[in-house]
Structure 1
Amino acid sequence: MRFSLIRLAALLPLAACATPTSTSAPTVEPEAVLVEAQPVPLDPADPTREQVGALRWRGGLVLTSADKRFGGLSGMRWDAGRLVLVSDEGDAWSIQPREAHGRLIGVGDARVRRLNGADGRPLPRIKELSDAESIELVSDPACRGTCPATHAIVSLETDSSLWRYRMIGGLPGGIPEALTEGAAWRARQSRTNGGVEAHAAGPGFRLMVSEEMREADGGASALLVTEAGEQRLSLRLGGVFVPTDLVLLDASAHRFLLLQRNYAKGRGTWTRTARFALARGGDGHWSVGPVETLATSGPPFTSDNMEGLAIRREGRRTMLYMISDDNFSKTQRTLLMKWELVG
C-alpha cells in the first residue's frame, strides 16, 4: 500500500465541500524538460556517514535545468514510480528517480505542465497569484493503493485557495474544483506568505497546517476536517522551526510525519522531521499527541530550504523523499534526498 495516495472513498463524505466547476478545459500535454543531477553526500567532510537520528541516508542529488521554469519546488508526493511536485510559480512537475540497490543515483524523465486557475486559463506568471505550496494525491479505492492517482489537491499560499484537479498524463490538469472546507480558517491567512503550507488526508479526514498562523498557546495552527465538521488544533512544535510539508504515515492510527525548516543568518538552513498522532476523545473532540523529533539536520551536512516531503514503501521499509525550494535564487540549490525511516 502506498501511503502517499489517499483512497478516494475517504473523500466522498467531503465531496459536498467542493464548488462544482466545468471540467472541459483543453488539456495541454506534459512537456518534457531536461533535468540534470549531481550526486552529493550527506556529510561532505565524511562521505561514509549515513544516519541522522531515525533517518538513514539513501542518496542525495543537486538538480539543475536550463529551463527557467525549473525551481521553487514545494509540495511533493510519490505516484506510480514518479515524484509529483508543485512550484512557487504555478507549475506542476513530474520527475522519475533513478535508483540502484535502493539508493537514489539520478533522475530520468522530467515533465512539466502549467496549472490552470478556476477560470480554466493557465495561472499568470505572477508569484502572488500562483504560489502553489502543497499537493496531496487521491487514488481509486478499488485499486487499494496500487493504481496511479486520479486527482490532486493543491493549495495556493497567498490567497489560501484549495483546488482539486484531475490527474491527466500523470500531472494535475483541467479546470480545478474549488474546495470550501476550512474556508473561514484559510481566509485568515490570505494575502500573506504564511498560509496553508502543508496538508494530508486519510479515510474521512483532512489535516491542514499553516506556516505562520499560531494558536493562543504558541503552537502552529492546524485545521482538522472530518465528516463531523471542523476543529482547530495546535501543533506544539517547540523552538523556531516552521511547518513546510506533511504526509500521512499510518491512516488507522492517524499518525503523520511533519517536515519543518528553520533559517538563521550565519547559522544556515536546518531541517527537522517529526512524528505525531491525532486521538479522538469520548466527547468526539480530537487532540494532538506529543510531537516527536525523529531527526534534525543542518550545516555542515548537506542542507537547504527543504519544503517537500513524499513517502513510499519498499516492501516493509518506509522511504522518504525530500526536496528543497531554491526560491529561484542563485545562492540556493534544488536538493533531492532519499532517506529510510528506521528505529
Structure 2
Amino acid sequence: MKRLWLWLAVVLLAALPARAQEEALTVRALPVKSFTLFSQLVTFGGLEWRGGLELASDDERFGGLSSLELSEDGTRLLAVSDRGFWFKADILYTDGHLSGLDNAVMAPILGPDGKPNKGKIRSDAEALAGWQPGKIDGKVIVGFESRTRAGLFDLGKNGFKARFKDLKLPKAAVNGPSNKELEAIGRFASGPLAGSIIAISELNKDENGDIRAFVWGGRKPFEFAIKQYEDYAITDLAILPDGDIITVERSFSATTLPGMAIRRIRTEDIVAGGAVSPSLVFSGRMPIYRIDNMEGIAVSKLNGETRITVVSDNNYRPEFQRTLLLQFALKE
C-alpha cells in the first residue's frame, strides 16, 4: 500500500504544470556616455540623447533581448528574449539620464500547458506589447516568430506563472519567408483603431516589394503595407500617446556595419490595402554611432517628455555583440 501511494504521488506531481521560477540575477550596467563615438552631440534628427547602458551578466540566460515595454513613467522595464525568457528590472536615472538597473529577474515564458516552451523554434519570442499602454504588470501580448503565433499573458493576475492564450493571428501573417515573419506587435488603446492589434513582419513582402502588416481584433481585420527604408528590416514597434506608431529598424549583415533607423507612421495613413511611407526620425550606422543589432523599442513619459528607449539583441554572443539600452527624448 505504501508503494501504491508513493506511485500515485509521483504520477500526480508529474501531471502538475512546471512552475515559472522567477530568479534574481546580477546585471552589470556600464554607462554609455554619448551616442556618438567622435563627438558630444546630443541631438540626432528627431531625437535628443537621454543616456544609455551596456548590459552584461554572467548568467547564461541573459541576452537575446528582442522586444521591450516600459512602465508609463519609465521606471520599470519588461523584455522578452528569443530563447523564451522574461526579463524584468527597475530603471535608475541620474539627472534625467539612464544610469543603471536594479532588481533584475528572469523567468521562462510558459506555454498553454503551463510549461516552458522547448527548443529554439517554439521559444523564439520577438515581440512584446502591453494590452494597455504603460501597463507592464497587467495583460501583455507576446509574438513568436519561428513558429509564428501571438499570445496573451495575464501577468497582473498570475505573474510569470501566466500561460499563453492564443490570439489567433491572421492566416496571411504566418505565411512569410522562414525567420522573416512576426517581429513587431502592438495594441491600439484609443483612436479609430481602438481595440485592434497590429503586427508587422520583418521582411514578409507583398507583390510590390513592400513590408506586410496586419490589423485584427477590432471591427474588421485588414492588411496594409509599409514602404521599406533602404535595406532596413522592421524589428519592433511602439504606439505613441497620440496613436501614431514608431518603429525601430535594423541593418545588420556580414557585409555591412550595423545600422539603426527609427520611423513614424501616422495612424490616419493606415488604410486597408494601402501602403504607407513612414517619416524618418533618425538613421545612422556604426562606427559613427553606438549601435548594435537593434531589436526593441518602447515609449514612456519622464519629466514631461516622450521618451524612446531601444535595446539591442546580442544573439547570446557577448564576446562579439553587446546588449545596449539607449534612451532618447522624442522631439515633437
TM normalised by structure 2 equals 0.86
Letter in 2 for 1:149: D
Please list, as runs of the form range in 1=range in 2, the aligned pairs for 1:47-196 lying within 5 A after superposition: 48-79=40-71, 81-124=75-118, 126-139=119-132, 149-168=137-156, 172-182=160-170, 184-189=171-176, 192-196=178-182
Separation of aligned partners in 2, 1:147 and 1:162: 18
Please list, as runs of the form range in 1=range in 2, the aligned pairs for 1:1-343 lying within 5 A after superposition: 27-40=19-32, 41-46=34-39, 48-79=40-71, 81-124=75-118, 126-139=119-132, 149-168=137-156, 172-182=160-170, 184-189=171-176, 192-202=178-188, 203-251=194-242, 254-279=243-268, 285=272, 287=274, 289-300=276-287, 301-329=289-317, 330-343=319-332
Q: 2:20·2:110 contact (CA, 8 Å) conserved in 1?
A: no
Separation of aligned partners in 1, 2:238 and 2:162: 25
Q: 2:18·2:115 contact (CA, 8 Å) conserved in 1?
A: no
Runs of 4 or more, structure 1, over 6 Å off, are: none
SS of 1:229's partner is coil
Q: 2:114·2:161 contact (CA, 8 Å) conserved in 1?
A: no
Separation of aligned partners in 1, 2:163 and 2:17: 6
SS of 2:121's partner is helix
Query: What's the offset of the Cα at 1:146?
Result: 7.6
Q: 1:278·1:286 contact (CA, 8 Å) conserved in 2?
A: no
Query: What's the offset of the Cα at 1:149?
Result: 3.3
Query: What's the offset of the Cα at 1:97?
Result: 1.4
Separation of aligned partners in 2, 1:266 and 1:25: 45
Separation of aligned partners in 1, 2:252 and 2:208: 23
Residue 17 of structure 1 corresponds to none
Do the aligned partners of residues 172 and 152 (structure 1) sit closer, same or farther apart at CA in structure 2, a change above 3 Å counting?
farther
SS of 1:127's partner is helix
SS of 2:131's partner is strand
Separation of aligned partners in 2, 1:49 and 1:250: 27
TM normalised by structure 1 equals 0.83
Separation of aligned partners in 2, 1:100 and 1:201: 31
Give the gaps of 5 or more residues in structure 2: 1-15, 189-193
Separation of aligned partners in 1, 2:269 and 2:67: 28
Q: Pick which of 197-206 and 25-34 moved more.
A: 25-34
Residue 12 of structure 1 corresponds to none
Letter in 2 for 1:340: A
Identity among equivalent pairs (%): 25
Query: What's the offset of the Cα at 1:266?
Result: 5.0
Do the aligned partners of residues 277 and 116 (structure 1) sit closer, same or farther apart at CA in structure 2, a change above 3 Å counting?
same
Separation of aligned partners in 1, 2:135 and 2:153: 17
Give the gaps of 5 or more residues in structure 1: 1-23, 140-144
Tell me which structure has the larger Cα radius of gyration: 2
Q: How many residues align?
A: 307
Separation of aligned partners in 2, 1:194 and 1:172: 28
Q: 1:267·1:299 contact (CA, 8 Å) conserved in 2?
A: no
Q: Once superposed, what is the RMSD of the aligned Cα atoms?
A: 2.3
Larger proportion of strand: 1
Query: What's the offset of the Cα at 1:50?
Result: 1.4
Separation of aligned partners in 2, 1:168 and 1:206: 20
Do the aligned partners of residues 97 and 338 (structure 1) sit closer, same or farther apart at CA in structure 2, a change above 3 Å counting?
same
